[in-house]
Structure formats: C-alpha cells, structure tokens
Amino acid sequence: MVKIYTKYNCVQCKMSKTLMDKLGIDYEVVNTEDEPEYVGRLKESGFKQLPVIEYNHELLFSGFNPSKIKELVKTATN
C-alpha cells in the first residue's frame, strides 16, 4: 500500500496525488496537519518537505518527483 504524507495547501502534494490518480496508483492520504504525530517520524528520517511517499512501510522520497512516481507504478501494481 502506498501512503502519501501531505498537508493543506501543498501544491507539490496536490500534483503528486493528481499524477498518482492518472497512473492508477491506489494510495492512502495522511494529512500531517490533522495527524501531527507523524511529523516526528518524517523529520527523524531526514525528510524536510512534503509530500513524503511511503510504500510497504518504507519511506521512499519527498517532493513532487514524477520519475519516481512512475517507477512506483511498476512496483505498486505488480
């Protein structure tokens, strides 16, 4: 399962979700403003920007990164 950690009014988050929708990636959204308990984990893992993309409980990358999202399609849909 893919998780995307987001926040309100985040352009990169919106763009990432839009691309995932177009590519048919199912994902769960975790809004860090509604669920701030996740912020510490993301920061401890070295992430400084949102969105952060997680797959199978592994934090993969942050920011809007179309090439990595497209790579995720191959992994997540198999």
Structure tokens at 58: 């592994």
For residue 71, how many other CB atoms are within 10 A of its CB? Answer: 13
Q: What is the pLDDT of residues 15-66, one digit of tens each?
A: 999 999 999 999 999 999 999 999 999 999 999 999 999 999 999 999 999 9
Q: What are the residues whose beta carbons fall under 8 Å from the beta carbon of 24, sequence distance 6 or more? A: 73, 77
Q: How far is CA 57 from CA 1, 9, 15, 41, 66, in A?
A: 8, 25, 22, 12, 20
**Residue (of 45, 47, 51) closest to 72 by Cα position:** 51
pTM: 0.93
Tokens of 38: 């996740």
Q: For all residues of the chain together, what is the average pLDDT? A: 94
